[in-house]
Amino acid sequence: MAEMPLSELKLTFVDSISQLEEHQFNQLIKTDYPFIQYDFLDALENSNCVSVSTGWQPKHLAAYVKDRLIGFVPLYLKTHSYGEYVFDFQWANAYQQSGLSYYPKLLTAIPFTPCTGPRLIVAEEYGDQLSHMMMLAILDELERLQVSSYHLLFPSASDNTFDEPKTKLLERIGTQYHWYNQSYANFDEFLNRCKMKQRKNIKRERKAIFESNIELRIIEGDEITQELWSAFFYFYRLTYAKRSGNAGYLSQSFFTELGKTMPQNLMMAVANVSDQIVAASLFFKDSDTLYGRYWGTSVEIEYLHFELCYYQGIEYCINNSLKHFDAGAQGEHKIQRGFEPIETYSYHWIKDVRFRDAIQHFLAEESLIVKKNAQYLSKKLPYKLT
């Protein structure tokens, strides 16, 4: 398809997703990927999880031809690097040691969500031409605001089409662990693909949960009650407090708003003991992928995390013919449970040429290590050779 001319293009930065007309936005977004939906981004802002006070100041880029929305980029002015899952604290420290300011910086990402997906949204008929012009606008805004850098996190492969010298971004490679459905008829068929040792280990872990008299339930969409949301949020905060000493990035109002506005994208795995909810894991979903996002518990039960966060997700994918399970960032322990190491990507524009060259050198060395480690881990997969 030939690209349409952009002679009447208007590019504008907005301080809130609510400044965009919801119907137009939904017409532009040609995907059911949950984290780029209007309702998801709006819930983050309405709940003040994303705001100036939290260091996530919205500064989204919108593109219009006449009055039609034809492009969108989620964009935030950040005063720290928390909640991103691509770690650049060393870069910030190097700036500070040199007497320079790394923050604020501009960031294209889904807040608190290390899930690969579309980040630069353009109407199909405008294609790469519009993507390029939006990137130039972001870099111009970086100069106008006098910020150090721009970062594009976890984009789809099609989102990085910037090869010209002015817009070429530094590539960074990371690793996550994802599960892929090989058209399994049931969980046992998945187990039968595993080697004996790993198969016995998974069966042992699941049996321990069964013998602990734990009742497991899958609850979807509108069936997730306010009682469940309250219990889940309590577990979520408790887990963050134990792990990092804070209450987590997200508020109860964020979760309950999502329960009202996008229930079709939500699933919860819940554990009960004697009719008392003791743990829950929250998943998002679209037409082919399940995303494991948050979990928490009020009890210490061995293997309960694996059951609620991994095995219930795998079983759900099999039962609902979902092709792919993204169980979240990090965790080499996922390998022996059937999750494969995959590469993730982020892209970076560093204004200061000296730091840009140093970071480019660092990323080249880091990429070799990441790729080598992924190759090593791939040999640890539990599956039988075919």
pLDDT digit string, tens, across residues 137-157:
999 999 999 999 999 999 998
pLDDT value, residue 1: 47
CATH topology of domain 9-174+343-378: Aminopeptidase (3.40.630)
| 268-285 pLDDT tens trace | 999 999 999 999 999 999
The stretch 224-233 carries a mean pLDDT of 96
User: What is the model's pLDDT at position 244?
Assistant: 82
pLDDT at 101: 95
Indicate the pLDDT class of residue 173, thresholds 50, 70 and 90: very high
Residue pair 208/352 in contact by the 8 Å Cβ criterion: no
Percent pLDDT > 90 in the chain is 88
| CA–CA dist 252, 256 (Å, integer) | 6
- Confidence at residue 3, expressed as pLDDT on a 0 to 100 scale: 62
CA dist., res. 62 & res. 25, Å (int): 10
* Cβ partners under 8 Å of residue 122, min gap 6: 63, 70, 71, 130, 131, 134
Q: Which residue has the higher pLDDT, 385 or 9?
A: 9
Q: Taking the chain, what is the end-to-end CA distance rounded to the nearest angstrom?
A: 41
Q: What mean pLDDT comes out for the span 158-180?
A: 83
Mean per-residue pLDDT, 252-261: 96
Domain 9-174+343-378 and domain 182-322 have a common topology: yes
User: Which sign does the torsion angle of CA 175, 180, 186, 188 carry?
Assistant: negative
Which CATH number among 3.40.630.30, 1.10.10.10, 3.30.360.10, 3.90.550.10 corresponds to the domain 182-322?
3.40.630.30
Q: CA 269, CA 216: separation in Å to the nearest integer?
A: 7
Express each pLDDT in 339-383 by its tens digit.
999 999 999 999 999 999 999 999 999 999 999 999 999 999 999
Show me where the domains of the chain are located: 9-174+343-378, 182-322
Which residues, listed in sequence order, are joined to residue 151 by a DSSP beta bridge? 107, 348
> What are the tens digits of pLDDT across the range 45-80?
999 999 999 999 999 999 999 999 999 999 999 999
- pLDDT category at 165 given cuts 50, 70, 90 is low
Q: If pLDDT is split at 50, 70 and 90, which confidence band does 160 have?
A: low
Radius of gyration of the chain (CA): 22
